[in-house]
Amino acid sequence: MKILIVNTSDIQGGAGRAAYRLHKSLLSQDIDSQMLVQNKSSDDYTVVLEEKKSTKYFNKLRPIIETLPSRFYKGRTKTLFSPSWFGFSNIVDKINEINPDIVHLHWICDGMVKIEDIAKIKAPIVWSLHDMWTFTGGCHYDEECKGYEKECGKCKVLGSETENDLSKKVYKRKEKVFNKIDNMTVVGVSEWLTNCSKNSTLLKDKKAITLPNPLNTDIFKPFDKVKGRDLWRLPKDKKLILFGASGGTNDFRKGGNELSESLQKLKDKNIELVIFGSNKPKESQNFGFKTHYLGHLHDDVSLVTLYSAVDIMIVPSLQEAFGQIASEAMACGTPTVAFGHTGLLDIIDHEKNGYLAKPFDTSDLAYGIEWILNNENYYELCQNAREKVVREFDSVVVAKKYIELYEGIIK
């Protein structure tokens, strides 16, 4: 069985890391897996890309060119919008040249694949959804507008009041292409995302299942807390709250404002905040506590030592496809608090291995933080967090489910 994993990057970004982890999990199960990317950061020979130098340099321009149509909308929000209109990629030719039994698409934006080229893929398609883009008119998260249930138009993300706007045009292009593809299985990485796809007018007729992002729990496991704090030069006499997101608190969808509001409501003052994903900004946000900015972390060992060094992980996202940071932290035995909404519902079991606050009640989020930090059964919460991830999200567990899916499609 020959599987081709397709993603814009290999180890950069949440979707890239998830796709690469699945690729490595399949290899560990003796599956002939390759990964095809537009931007390669690893030195893994099983990850391939177009070798031409001209293509390599041109790929750096693709994300910029990709955004050009949406730039005409001056009222657009900060949510990513991808028209996937740029058609000079030969990625699909490369896919068909490799000739796999299954083409497993993941996150393919930033100018990697033009929508119309997807219909040219010869092998059956499995498409893992890492956000909402596949079934929307171009936005990666819909900001709760649910336009994908009625063919988009008047796009909230674009700030458009026009029915026949860019989102409608992108929607129609997808509709035309998806109608040509008979053998496509949609995989939501959470029940929320799977249900959204089933309710969408674009994917409602496609087979859809839920399979989570895999995690190697032999790597992501508890590390000595004291040693972890020594490594990161964090205080040993404080309760530490961890928040992580690419760009830190700048991405509104990750809940930076909600984080700040909830921290301001904490009664316990023996607390310090730790943030990874960005360096300290010129004008840092006032969280009411001393804040340690650790910058971008690029390897799993750093993540493991940091997750283990803190007392609690907070993931106050407004919309989250899965919540990979939550599963990573919990695998290291760190209880997690989040809003009981979207993909995080699959990861956190309320008051068993973390706390799910009412969306988007910052008072309840603050209560959840203190409920965990002051819980007399704190170490039981830690153990439950680890056990949940090992049981449901471990790489071997998830890989075997994917192999079963692939075998069913091939048969």
Q: Tell me: the pLDDT tens digits for 108-155? A: 999 899 999 999 999 999 999 999 999 999 999 999 999 999 999 999
- pLDDT at position 282 is 79
Residue 407, pLDDT score: 97
CA distance 214 to 217: 9
Q: Cα-flanking dihedrals φ and ψ of residue 114, to 5°?
A: -75, 140
| DSSP calls for 342-386 | GGGGGTPPBTTTEEEEPTT-HHHHHHHHHHHHT-TTHHHHHHHHH
The 10s digit of each residue's pLDDT in 278-295 is: 888 877 777 889 999 999
In this prediction, residue 90 has a pLDDT band, given cuts at 50, 70 and 90, of confident
CA distance 48 to 250: 33
In this prediction, residue 56 carries a pLDDT of 64
Q: What is the DSSP string of 191-223?
A: HHHHHHHHHSTTTTTSEEEE-PPPB-TTTS---
Query: pLDDT at position 280, please?
Result: 86
Confidence of residue 248 (pLDDT cuts 50, 70, 90): low
pLDDT digits (tens, 9 = 90+) for 302-317: 999 999 999 999 999 9
Terminal-to-terminal C-alpha distance of the chain: 11
- At 51-76, the pLDDT tens digits run 655 566 667 777 888 888 898 899 99
In the predicted model, what is the mean pLDDT of residues 84-88? 78
What domains does the chain contain, in order, with CATH numbers? 2-214+394-410 (3.40.50.2000), 225-392 (3.40.50.2000)
Residue 249 is predicted with a pLDDT of 65
For residue 213, pLDDT over 60 is answered with yes
Q: Is the pLDDT of residue 217 over 80?
A: yes
Angle between helices 14-28 and 324-331 in degrees, nearest 10: 60
Distance CA 90, CA 97 (A): 11
**Two tokens at 184?**
């496509």
Distance CA 374, CA 355 (A): 13
DSSP 374-396: T-TTHHHHHHHHHHHHHHHTBHH
- Global pTM reads 0.93
